[in-house]
Amino acid sequence: MAVLELKNIHAAYGEIPILKGVDISIKEGQLVAVMGPNGAGKSTVLKAIFGLVKILSGEVVWQGNLIKPSTEKMVRLGISYVPQGRQIFSTLTIEQNLEMGGYTLPNNKVMAERMEISYALFPFLKERRKTRAGTLSGGQQQMLAVARGLMTDPKLLLLDEPTLGLSPKMVSDMFDKIVEINRELKTPVCVVEHNIKTLFKMVHKAYILNHGEVFACGTPAELESKDALSKVFLAHSKAETNGK
């Protein structure tokens, strides 16, 4: 069963159209990637799901029910969104950041249980839980942002370029954690990424966007057989060159 479906989604920033008829389906237990060149509309897909950009037309279906996304509603439904840029509370401790992520939890007992799950995934956070988050390295801050996103035991985790600006070692560590979250916690994950070669082999399904449209979708094997990634990035590169 699909947890979330986008059907013929058109979305815009103000008067500027970004998504032009996008169809995406995320099933229970899946790790799904949204890939594509700069400006393809990747991050806009997550923002449309989370109610952060205006949907002009199309349908968003959550667990079989047609919904109109808004941030408050999506949080209530169990969708967690981790934006790009390591948006942690730098003056608060690691523990306080996690508490902020769990502000909707019903009581302290559940808060403590969820925090232990995050600590089990990211042991260094527990070791430094009383440390101000701003003293962490960039990669550690991104790990904290993901851990905070898990505090509500999400039914769907949205990750927007979680490896942006990280070292190759931290990129590898981050992808390992994303796979662990998906496999061990059984959390469906939709991740927008630019590090496509590293991530590609790990996902169940990928959507390749170009100019706000789905250029191709399928399993990594299916997309490799079509040489879809090379085709879309080559076309984008040629368009950029001709535009100069």
Is 206 inside a domain boundary?
yes
> Token pair of 181, please?
């979250």
pLDDT (tens digit, 9 = 90+) per residue, 144-169?
999 999 999 999 999 999 998 889 89
Is 23 inside a domain boundary?
yes
> Token pair of 31, please?
């790790």
Is 110 inside a domain boundary?
no
Domain that holds residue 24: 1-78+186-244
Rounded to whole angstroms, the Cα distance separating 73 from 115 reads 23
Q: Which of 60, 149, 61 minimizes the C-alpha distance to 101?
A: 149
Residue 242: what pLDDT? 53
Residue 236: what pLDDT? 57
Is 119 inside a domain boundary?
no
Residue 188: what pLDDT? 97
Is 201 inside a domain boundary?
yes
* Rg of the chain (C-alpha set): 18
Write the CATH number for 60: 3.40.50.300
> pTM value?
0.92
Q: Dump strand ranges (E) for the chain.
A: 2-13, 16-27, 31-35, 54-62, 65-67, 79-82, 156-160, 189-192, 205-210, 213-218
CB 180: neighbour CB atoms within 10 A? 12
Confidence category of residue 241, pLDDT binned at 50, 70, 90: very low
**Contact assessment for residue 219 and residue 73, using Cβ atoms and an 8 Å cutoff:** no
Rounded to whole angstroms, the Cα distance separating 46 from 23 reads 13
Domain count, the chain: 1
* Amino acid identity, position 242: N
